[in-house]
Chain A
Amino acid sequence: GENVEQHPSTLSVQEGDSAVIKCTYSDSASNYFPWYKQELGKRPQLIIDIRSNVGEKKDQRIAVTLNKTAKHFSLHITETQPEDSAVYFCAATKSNFGNEKLTFGTGTRLTIIP
């Protein structure tokens, strides 16, 4: 089955600086890669996703890049703000009708230092 590794496990950055979180996946057939943000005690919420036919996607201060050859994808947050502090999870899955189980990375706890 799919295995997703995520690094770093914790990350502290000064407010206004950029943060980068990296993930690698094992199944070359995986073709969908979402990122979730989870605040303490709350549900994971989708912040951005990318499909394998695209190399990069941006949404305001958030961007995701995908390197299919190397089987890794990254989350980039620019101009970080205190409200960006949370745990971020990457995930991967592949097209399989009726079985789109997401395999999650172990999470990155991001702390923005004011």
Chain B
Amino acid sequence: DSGVTQTPKHLITATGQRVTLRCSPRSGDLSVYWYQQSLDQGLQFLIQYYNGEERAKGNILERFSAQQFPDLHSELNLSSLELGDSALYFCASSVAGTPSPLHFGNGTRLTVT
């Protein structure tokens, strides 16, 4: 168990809908990262938050947004969903300050039908 909690585990929804993915980082970790992994693909960085502030953005679509709350949990919002948004969405957290491993949650598998 990595200590990173993601909910829900699975999400099935229709095109055009909006969903929210939730992540609780490991205790003490201030940085939260979101990655998207499509079928048989690599890990695409979406966005990073550090202690409530956005710190880095990757290839995140304008239809996607995220935030990190004062209690350090994070939510990734996906709207106007398309079939191509079907993927595994991973949240990871790390200790800030020195390069350290990312600890990944078990992911949310999103299926858009």
Measuring CB to CB, which residues of chain A are less than 8 angstroms from any residue of chain B? 31-32, 34, 41-46, 49, 51, 89, 93-95, 97-107
Distance in Å: Cβ of A56 to nearest Cβ of chain B? 18
A residues near B30, Cβ cutoff 8 Å: 98
Q: Is the CB of A95 within 8 A of B43?
A: no
Cα–Cα, bound, A54→B49 (Å): 29
* Chain B at the A interface: SS class: loop
Q: Is the CB of A100 within 8 A of B42?
A: no
Cα–Cα, bound, A34→B96 (Å): 16
Q: Is the CB of A43 within 8 A of B42?
A: no
Residue of A nearest to B101 (CB): A46
Cα–Cα, bound, A46→B106 (Å): 13
Q: Is the CB of A101 within 8 A of B45?
A: yes
Cα–Cα, bound, A41→B20 (Å): 21
B residues near A101, Cβ cutoff 8 Å: 33, 45, 48, 55-56, 58
